[in-house]
Amino acid sequence: MDAMFSSCGLQTLPTEFAWSPPCLRALTAIQRDFEIDDEKLKRIAARFEEELYEGLSKHGENLTMEATWVHGLPKGTETGSFLTVDLGGTNIRVCWITLRGRGCQPEIVQKLSHIPEVVKTGEAHQLWGFVADSIDHFVRERGLHCTASSPLALGFTFSYPVRQDSLTNGRLKTWTKGFDIKGVEGEDVVSQLDKALRAKDLHIDVVALINDTTGALIASSYMDAETVIGAIFGTGSNAAYMENVGSIPKLKTPLPPDTPMAINCEYGAFDNSHRVLPRTKFDQMIDRDSPRPGEQTFEKMSAGLYLGEIFRLIICDFHDHGLLFKTQNVSRLARPYTIDTAFLSALESDTLPNLVGKFESISGVEATLGEVQLLRRLAEVVTTRGARLSACGIAAICKKKGIREGHVAVDGSVANKHPTFKSRWAKALAAILDWQSDRERDPIRMVGAKDGSGIGAAVIAAMHLRY
């Protein structure tokens, strides 16, 4: 079992602490349930490729493969100053971005604010009032001038599944990332934001509605011409790439077949029909208790919003079977989403004594060094599976498009902050695409996205205005 998991990026079993035979048996069972070997990876990627084609062919498929109406990659000559807003899963970020062309780092002035829980589960007027307030405060603080005759151009990053008929409108299909706001699904989010801006007498025109994955693709291409895919491995999981209009049968448009179109895959919903992903009982619990059961199957197994919760469910299961924290009060640990993915990152990077204190501050449980060592192993199991799954969607895009080399521009907290995600992802991608991984020389390799949600929105706004 150790050799098998070492090949997936896990460490060998520790020798410092003696775990009981029942504990070892439980750990072995967890490892077996979460293991995805190379052959299974290839089967998942093959099914992923099939769903890419299905989503391009007709509406209503698992992968919605949304046309973004971003035609082509930037030339690198786009310049100007733009207001951008990024409504993410945790924060809202308002920026004033000045583009100076490829080779010159864009200038960014920004303000980040936490999205209150009451907004995430409230009503439409609360959401758009909050967004408009955030923009209003930023514009006033920075002394930006906008008038009816000279409005500010806004690039709006809205990282949720939308159906777009143009670059400046999009109807929300379903909330993800734990949001459940009434009165927005099925509505044009740009129109709703415009109404809130007008209510505050803000002369701001939304000139581009984008997803963070499309932003990652465009922003990175603006600075790096070798960019072929943009991806997000953070709160959610998704990717974007360039497709030809002629390869999108469901898209009824007079545009020439060879016209490039950025596609937002929305592949967090991969395998909603449960044909290939190896779901465990913990994955089923996550889905059952989520705001949208039956949706976003892939995301719930691989994205940062859920990895910490999967881990929490496992250690609670160990406790229920008398294998962890036997004399401890675990009432705080029993609360959903008590543990986030940041703690999983710490488990694989910090020292055991430090982790004892961190775990107690999070959970109220005073773990022994041996128990923390076991927590580390369980975290490795969960995050290794997440990294390996994350490679499948990228591999499927590469196989479909015949991409043999280039950069995958990646943003998101998991990719940026987890200490081993990138190496495990690279090893899995190499296994699917049949090469020996040597991260710095891999023909297709991950690079950091250049602030897709901000710079990407500004670049797309500049492309649109020039067009």
Segments making up each domain of the chain, as ranges: 1-67+225-448, 71-224+450-466
Confidence of residue 439 (pLDDT cuts 50, 70, 90): low
Q: Catalytic residue among 86, 188, 194, 212, which?
A: 212
Confidence of residue 17 (pLDDT cuts 50, 70, 90): low
> Given a cut of 90, is residue 309 above it in pLDDT?
yes
pTM over 0.85: yes
The question of whether 212 is a catalytic residue gets the answer yes
Per-residue confidence (pLDDT) for residue 441, from 0 to 100: 83
Using CA atoms, how far apart are residues 409 and 224, in angstroms rounded to an integer?
9
Mean pLDDT (whole number) for 18-33: 93
How many C-beta neighbours within 10 Å does residue 62 have?
22
Residues 57-114 have pLDDT tens digits of 999 999 999 999 999 999 999 999 999 999 988 899 999 999 999 989 999 999 999 9
Confidence of residue 221 (pLDDT cuts 50, 70, 90): very high
Backbone angles phi, psi at 168, to 5 degrees: -115, 20
DSSP string, 410-455: EESHHHHH-SSHHHHHHHHHHHHHT----GGG-SEEEEE---IIII
Per-residue confidence (pLDDT) for residue 4, from 0 to 100: 38
Average pLDDT of every residue of the chain? 92
Q: Catalytic residue among 47, 86, 134, 159, which?
A: 159
User: Which homologous superfamily is 71-224+450-466 in?
Assistant: ATPase, nucleotide binding domain (3.30.420.40)
CB–CB of 282/313 below 8 Å? yes
Residues 27-36 have pLDDT tens digits of 999 999 999 9
Burial profile 285-311: b = 16 or more Cβ within 10 angstroms, e = fewer: ebbeebeeeebbbbbbbbbbbbbbbbb
Residue with tokens 């022994």: 368
Parallel/antiparallel/unpaired status of strands 444-448 and 406-411: parallel
Q: Catalytic residue among 93, 312, 377, 445, which?
A: 93
Backbone angles phi, psi at 92, to 5 degrees: -115, 135
Confidence of residue 8 (pLDDT cuts 50, 70, 90): low
Top-tier CATH class for 1-67+225-448: alpha beta
Per-residue confidence (pLDDT) for residue 2, from 0 to 100: 45
Using CA atoms, how far apart are residues 258 and 394, in angstroms rounded to an integer?
23
The answer for residues whose C-beta is within 8 angstroms of residue 141's C-beta and 6 or more apart is 111
> Given a cut of 80, is residue 421 above it in pLDDT?
yes
> Which range has the worst mean pLDDT, 170-179, 359-368, 374-383?
170-179
CB–CB of 448/409 below 8 Å? yes
Using CA atoms, how far apart are residues 232 and 282, in angstroms rounded to an integer?
24
Cα separations in angstroms, 356 against 46, 345, 373: 42, 14, 10
Residue 443 has which token pair?
């023909």
- Is the fold of 1-67+225-448 the same as that of 71-224+450-466? no
Per-residue confidence (pLDDT) for residue 320, from 0 to 100: 95
> Given a cut of 60, is residue 321 above it in pLDDT?
yes
